[in-house]
Structure 1
Amino acid sequence: MRSRNHAKTIECEERNRQMQGHVIYQLGDFPPFPGETDDTGRFNRAIRAMAPGGMLFVPAGRYAVKEITVTKSISLWFAEGAWVEASDRETAFLFQFAGEKSADGYPLLREAKRGDCALYLPPSAARDIKAGDVIWLSDDSARPSDGQQEINCEVHEVAEIECLERELLGDTVEGAGVRGWKSWEESPSGPRGTTLICSEPIPVEAGRCYRLEVSAKHNLSDHGASGSCYVEWVGKQGEMIARSDVISFLYKGWHVHQGCNWVAPRGATCARIFLRLPSEQAVQSCSLSVEKISFKEVFTKLTVCDFIRLPKRVARVNVVKITPLMHCRVVNFRYRLKQGASKGFGILAQQVRHFHVNGLYAEQGVESAIQVRRSMDVTVENFMILPPQRLGSGQGYGVQFFGGNLGVVVRNGYACRTRHAVDLDSTFDAVVEGVTDMEGRGVSFLLTHNGWGGDMVFRHCRSLCSGSSGFVAETQGATNPYDLTHPNIHIIDCTWQRDVRPGNGLCYGFGVWLKAPVSGRIERFTAETGMGVQDVEEMDNAAVRLLPVGNRLHVCDVSARSLRRGLVIAHPHVADETEPDRYICVDRMAVQHCQSAIYVNGGWGKRLYLRDLTLDQVKNYVVEGNQTGSYEAFVMERVSITNSPSVKLFQSGPTPRPGSVVRGWIRRVWRDWMSKVVKR
């Protein structure tokens, strides 16, 4: 009793410490009104009464609510023994924290690449966006299966924004003095009396913005004669695609004629500038003089605080300003949904920043316990997610981030029988640490769901008694996985244990399955089927599965037990290694009770380095496959084989590209006295 009271005292002290500096509001001060059948009204009244930065304390008890939306910077603190339940089966969410997202957006004027810090937007963007704002960056990528949007997305803070322009005509035209034209050229889009100011076409790019300024006059006696100025946009074959007009003007002395922020149409490769005086007298007297010409590309240069994570192609809308909801906190939130519910999130967060959820506890979930979109600096920790009541597409998830997130921490959590314990997509700078998924019904940890994501670390995470794979980088958003990349993926000190279930002899799955090219590291990873002490026939699984080319990956200190294979490097589609710095390096891999240690197939010109392999009770091959594909480099050294009398070194030896040779060597392969001589 004394220890329990002591623990409660410590908890109260910690709560009081964290509440310091906040104005505390008590839910008990907002009783239900007569006729109210649940607690939604009193929560909403309390939230409306709170000042930004305040904290609402919810005492022990049971509360029925439906779809409470928070749009101010407040915190919710639930006492031990406080439970929140859905009012009905149609409750879409219990609590939603929502910032604002602009309805309008801007296209990129040129593609963005990984590593870029600057984005180039139309000049009008500078009216709405300023330094310190947060933007949502995307393109028009969509999932082929169902057209789902928001799969290649990021969020960034704006460091600087500038309105810039670039002169395209050069210094020789600026200030060149009065120039008279002695010949008039016929324009495809203008009548006689139209002159081409610049004889050389001006290179342009479709979708970019341009500004024209011309200072001109004529010497006609009729000063009321009107003229016009326009730009023809010309395609690759010299055909006129479109025309942009300056409003007609009257020549009264020198006059500046301007066309602003024209967008070059699709297919345009160059521009031609024309002035026109619809008068035979003008043609005959050569009366048009031009003092100054300026044709500029105009744009907004937007610089982000870090860098662009993955390439973005030009789309109708690429950049949208968001106003995140700042500094919200949810502590000790325990909830359950109605039995038989068809939908429902525990917490839904959109456009938030510095958002912290501590002590989430979920029962009878349907969709995600927490889902976060388009947000920055989010932490979810110390959570427990018990078996959901529904499993399926979009159902039965634990912690989910998608639609563009930056700066994510998920740590110290437990999930049981979920479809996905942690589901990430379009998420960057993520750390997932100390999370256990027990008896997962689907992939335990999705590094990317549709294929876009990176710059993440999984550390001390476990997938135990799994019914599927452990750590997977999916590619559902692309028809060709080689069109994607997952930069800086690190899986360290993690475990996958595949469950053995009656009637499921395949035990299908992979401890780590990276379905697109990856850079990064897999280190100190343990994978096994059952208890890892005996062979299971007819299995289809492995500790790690990778694509044969496109990677820059180190696999170190991997232990594979009671699996069909330790490592699979294969893909059925033909792909060629085109980058000189791509390779797979495997160091210190231990394989026990497996059919084969490594399986390789596919990929042309791959580079594979195998060092310090320890094989015990392996039945078939050290390296299985190799019937398709080729190598540029292959190294195998320091291989120890014990208790494996039937194992062969290769099913098929490494083959080079046609007309080439394989660089590398095979050496220091050792077998104990119980094994036969190495066969190839």
Structure 2
Amino acid sequence: MQVARISISKVDRTPYEQNDVGRFQRAISSLQDGGELIVPSGTYYLDSVLIRKPIHIRCAGVVEFIPTDRNKDIFIIEGTRNDLSYQLLEPANRRDQKINLSINPSDIKPGDMIVVTDDSVRFKDNHTDLNTEVHEVFYVENNTIWLRDYIRLPKSPSPSGVNVYKVNPVENVKIDGFRYRMLEGSTCGRGIYANYVRNLQVTNIQGTRGAGSGIQVRKAIQTRVEGFEFTNPQVVGGGQGYGIQFFGGCNGITVRDGYTYGMRHSVDLEGSCEALIDNVVDVCAAGASFLLSHNGYSSDITIQNCRAINSAGTGIVADSQAISSGNPDKSSPLQLTFYGFQIRNCEIINFSFGNAGIHFYSPCKEVFIEGCKIRYRSGSEQELSKLSNAGIRLYPAQTDARIANCTIEGYRRGIAFQSPAGDYDNRDDCQIHISNTVIRNCCSALFFNHGRSKRFRISHVHCEGIEQQFIELNQGDFSYLQIEDVTIIRSPKLRFANHKIQMTSKKSAGAVRNIFIDNKEFSPLPHIP
């Protein structure tokens, strides 16, 4: 007989059991769908507890879980996938709400959860399952599937025939209020591992001495994690020592009210879309604090009210390391475009001489960076000109972004638009607008390296303590450059630019006007046609 509620205190160990795994599994088996398992205060020795139906595990009081052996997950929540798979008849583009398959799907109906993917792989090691999204089906007619949402990033028809397949998720699991401690000597093991899930909710979880991830979620719709703390992992790097990690195109993520310390990354949104990261504080990350993208295939992510304090790497990064250029040693960021990144009211303090507070490695569109405070704190009195870092670093071509109401301090370059090499064309009318921003104590305020026919509008920018130049130029030119309402003070050695500003052609547009400088010996401003 199945019950609606049971306390683990009512389920005893058998005479042959040395830990609590068996009684937890029996308690879960006894619950009906939607049932509740209550865990009173205490220390429990368990791992690899399987959850495959909608239940609520509610920990009442101070509850600690300790695995029975090294390298074990505490809870595993895992659905299944169907064997049938389908090929796209034609490419799926961003914002497409319907997809056409090469044949009629026989096992997909409205309300089902499907995976949409292609054959993209990481060029360094052929790691698969990168350009992947999980969606809910709204309607099916013949070979056409209408999605409840829409395609986030373009998908190509797969030669292998695997573009779409149905999954059977574990739904409506809630886990509330426990802490765990991994055994010393562990090199992997997660607090919660979830794969093929829908409507997963995890609240009030604490983990220490971890090795893998505190929480790792794959191929999920509507995941919510609130009130978490992960600290002092045993190992970091190479997929180890993460706080919260998402893989395989998770869709609809909320992560809020958390704290992490000493992790490799605090939150890693590897291939995710429609995510909100709110009020998370990360301290002393060994790498980047917040990864909007790891390999490149992420979109529509908002990170707000977060803090990255003393990150050894970048505070907030969108990496594109999966994209191949044909050269096995280099990536080609132009093969992929990020969409819909919003970074609002975040604080970043990092101390790496070669990284950035915020860094997007590929072109980005629909981007808004607002109200952020970004500061470099060096452990020594190093000259700014010997650094290679920047407060914000974006790709110089095919980027459409707005930066507003930010304060950037202490970097070699305040805001940099640069790529490692190549003079790439700006192929559309995308524009970058910087406004109402303070850049203080930097070698140069703005840095432009590569990119042809760039379009920039710079207005209401206040600069203090700029050591060398307002604009640092390397290569590339502009089709539109307007600079207005700029104030520069306490910068006695300042030049407006280190080189003449190059415009694309005589038809290029722009102007420099309303520049206030407190240095009377400042050289004349350049003329822009």
Is the structural similarity TM-score above 0.5?
A: yes
Q: Is the 8 A contact 2:89 2:100 kept in 1?
A: yes
**Matching residue of 2:333:** 481
Q: Is the 8 A contact 2:86 2:103 kept in 1?
A: no
- 1:531/1:614 CA distance change after superposition, 3 Å: farther
SS of 2:475 mapped into structure 1: coil
Q: Unmatched 5+ residue regions in structure 2?
A: 325-331
Q: Is the 8 A contact 1:134 1:322 kept in 2?
A: yes
**Matching residue of 1:115:** 95
1:105 corresponds to 2:82: no
Shift of 1:532: 12
SS of 1:563 mapped into structure 2: coil
Q: CA–CA distance in 2 between the matches of 1:431 and 1:675?
A: 49
Shift of 1:579: 3.6
Q: CA–CA distance in 2 between the matches of 1:155 and 1:104?
A: 16
1:446 corresponds to 2:294: no
1:559 to 383, 404, 407: 407
Could you report, residue by residue, the CA deviation over 1:445-504 in whole angstroms, capped at 9, with x for unpaired residues? 0001110111111110110122111110000110211111111110000111013xxxxx
1:365 corresponds to 2:210: yes
Shift of 1:656: 2.2
Q: CA–CA distance in 1 between the matches of 2:520 and 2:311?
A: 35
SS of 1:477 mapped into structure 2: coil
Q: Which has the larger radius of gyration?
A: 1
Q: Is the 8 A contact 1:84 1:335 kept in 2?
A: yes
**Matching residue of 1:19:** none
Q: Unmatched 5+ residue regions in structure 1?
A: 1-21, 164-299, 500-505
1:78 corresponds to 2:50: no
Could you report, residue by residue, the CA deviation over 1:212-237 in whole angstroms, capped at 9, with x for unpaired residues? xxxxxxxxxxxxxxxxxxxxxxxxxx
Kindly provide the amino acid, as one letter, of the partner of residue 389 in structure 1: Q
SS of 1:43 mapped into structure 2: helix
**Matching residue of 1:317:** 162
Kindly provide the amino acid, as one letter, of the partner of residue 32 in structure 2: A
SS of 1:42 mapped into structure 2: helix
Could you report, residue by residue, the CA deviation over 1:21-69 in whole angstroms, capped at 9, with x for unpaired residues? x932110111111121211111111111111100111111111112111
Q: CA–CA distance in 1 between the matches of 2:387 and 2:493?
A: 19
Q: Is the 8 A contact 2:43 2:64 kept in 1?
A: yes
Q: CA–CA distance in 2 between the matches of 1:333 and 1:370?
A: 13
**Matching residue of 1:496:** 348
Could you report, residue by residue, the CA deviation over 1:172-210 in whole angstroms, capped at 9, with x for unpaired residues? xxxxxxxxxxxxxxxxxxxxxxxxxxxxxxxxxxxxxxx
SS of 1:446 mapped into structure 2: strand
Q: Is the 8 A contact 2:426 2:454 kept in 1?
A: no
Q: CA–CA distance in 1 between the matches of 2:101 and 2:302?
A: 33
Shift of 1:85: 0.8
Q: CA–CA distance in 2 between the matches of 1:465 and 1:368?
A: 21
Q: Is the 8 A contact 2:197 2:220 kept in 1?
A: yes
Could you report, residue by residue, the CA deviation over 1:97-117 in whole angstroms, capped at 9, with x for unpaired residues? 112211231111111111111
Paired residues for 1:240-389 under 5 Å: 300-315=143-158, 316-389=161-234
SS of 1:46 mapped into structure 2: helix
1:523 corresponds to 2:370: yes
Shift of 1:631: 1.1
**Matching residue of 1:140:** 119
Kindly provide the amino acid, as one letter, of the partner of residue 387 in structure 2: M
Identical positions, percent? 31
**Matching residue of 1:510:** 356
Paired residues for 1:464-475 under 5 Å: 464-475=309-320
Could you report, residue by residue, the CA deviation over 1:89-143 in whole angstroms, capped at 9, with x for unpaired residues? 132x110111221123111111111111111113341x21111111011001000
Q: CA–CA distance in 2 between the matches of 1:572 and 1:597?
A: 19
1:69 corresponds to 2:50: yes
Kindly provide the amino acid, as one letter, of the partner of residue 645 in structure 1: P
- 1:656/1:669 CA distance change after superposition, 3 Å: same
TM-score by length of structure 2 reads 0.94
Q: More deviation in 522-531 or 574-583? A: 574-583
Q: Is the 8 A contact 1:90 1:343 kept in 2?
A: yes
Kindly provide the amino acid, as one letter, of the partner of residue 515 in structure 1: Y
SS of 1:47 mapped into structure 2: helix
SS of 1:129 mapped into structure 2: coil
TM-score by length of structure 1 reads 0.73
- 1:678/1:382 CA distance change after superposition, 3 Å: farther
**Matching residue of 2:513:** 667
Q: CA–CA distance in 1 between the matches of 2:521 and 2:24?
A: 72
Q: CA–CA distance in 2 between the matches of 1:482 and 1:83?
A: 47
Shift of 1:575: 4.5
Q: CA–CA distance in 2 between the matches of 1:675 and 1:101?
A: 71
Q: Is the 8 A contact 2:491 2:519 kept in 1?
A: no
Kindly provide the amino acid, as one letter, of the partner of residue 496 in structure 1: I
**Matching residue of 1:619:** 467
SS of 1:51 mapped into structure 2: strand
2:497 to 630, 635, 650: 650
SS of 2:465 mapped into structure 1: strand
Q: Which runs of 4+ in 1 moved over 2 A?
A: 530-540, 572-581, 659-662, 673-680
2:481 to 634, 650, 653: 634
Paired residues for 1:406-485 under 5 Å: 406-479=251-324, 480-485=332-337
Q: CA–CA distance in 2 between the matches of 1:78 and 1:620?
A: 58
Kindly provide the amino acid, as one letter, of the partner of residue 662 in structure 1: S
Q: CA–CA distance in 1 between the matches of 2:404 and 2:266?
A: 25
Could you report, residue by residue, the CA deviation over 1:362-404 in whole angstroms, capped at 9, with x for unpaired residues? 1111011001111101100110111111011100100111101
SS of 2:442 mapped into structure 1: strand
SS of 1:655 mapped into structure 2: coil
Shift of 1:152: 0.6
- Count of residues in Structure 1 that have an aligned counterpart in Structure 2: 513
Q: Is the 8 A contact 2:308 2:347 kept in 1?
A: yes
**Matching residue of 2:328:** none
**Matching residue of 1:405:** 250
Kindly provide the amino acid, as one letter, of the partner of residue 641 in structure 1: I
1:35 to 4, 16, 19: 16
SS of 1:307 mapped into structure 2: coil
**Matching residue of 1:166:** none
Q: CA–CA distance in 2 between the matches of 1:441 and 1:397?
A: 10
Q: CA RMSD in A?
A: 1.8
Q: Is the 8 A contact 2:450 2:475 kept in 1?
A: yes
- 1:532/1:550 CA distance change after superposition, 3 Å: farther
Q: Is the 8 A contact 1:554 1:586 kept in 2?
A: yes
Q: Is the 8 A contact 2:34 2:54 kept in 1?
A: yes
**Matching residue of 2:329:** none
Q: CA–CA distance in 1 between the matches of 2:103 and 2:340?
A: 34
**Matching residue of 2:447:** 599
- 1:382/1:675 CA distance change after superposition, 3 Å: farther
Could you report, residue by residue, the CA deviation over 1:529-554 in whole angstroms, capped at 9, with x for unpaired residues? 22999875422221100111111100
Compare relative contact order (CA 8 Å, sep 6+) and give the higher one, 1 or 2.
1
Q: CA–CA distance in 1 between the matches of 2:464 and 2:433?
A: 21
Paired residues for 1:38-53 under 5 Å: 38-53=19-34
**Matching residue of 2:388:** 540
SS of 1:359 mapped into structure 2: strand
Q: More deviation in 470-479 or 529-538? A: 529-538
Shift of 1:572: 2.9
Shift of 1:557: 1.3
Kindly provide the amino acid, as one letter, of the partner of residue 395 in structure 2: L
Q: CA–CA distance in 2 between the matches of 1:43 and 1:321?
A: 30
SS of 1:28 mapped into structure 2: helix
